[in-house]
């Protein structure tokens, strides 16, 4: 799961909706990330809040822009 998120980030993108409902087990211990509809380039300006609130980083809820760190926050919630 984190490997796939790393690949998204390597391409200069932010998933912006990273939560357990957007993961699918495709077998052999392989998890795929789904629902890339809110995925945007890192430099895209947008202060709108998207996603499942439990997985949205507090700073985003306070009006800051999404960053790749916010995707990592969502991963942390899943891992917890």
Q: Give the tens place of pLDDT for each residue, 33-53.
A: 999 989 999 988 777 787 889
For residue 6, the cross-strand partners are none
CA distance 33 to 28: 15
CA distances 14 to 29, 31, 37, 60, Å, are: 24, 18, 11, 13
CA distance 25 to 14: 21
Would you say residue 5 has pLDDT above 90? yes
- Domain positions in the chain: 2-79
* Cβ atoms 50, 37 nearer than 8 A: no
Query: What CATH homologous superfamily does 2-79 map to?
Result: Transferase(Phosphotransferase) domain 1 (1.10.510.10)
Q: What is the pLDDT of residue 23?
A: 93
Whether 21 and 52 have beta carbons less than 8 Å apart is answered as yes
Question: pTM, whole model, 2 decimals?
Answer: 0.87
């Amino acid at each position: 799961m984190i490997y796939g998120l790393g690949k998204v980030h390597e391409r200069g993108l932010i998933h912006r909706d990273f939560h357990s409902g957007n993961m699918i087990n495709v077998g052999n211990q392989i998890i795929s990330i789904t629902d890339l509809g809110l995925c945007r380039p890192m430099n895209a300006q947008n202060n709108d809040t998207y996603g499942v609130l439990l997985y949205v980083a507090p700073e985003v809820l306070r009006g800051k822009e999404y960053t790749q760190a916010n995707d990592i926050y969502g991963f942390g919630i899943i891992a917890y």
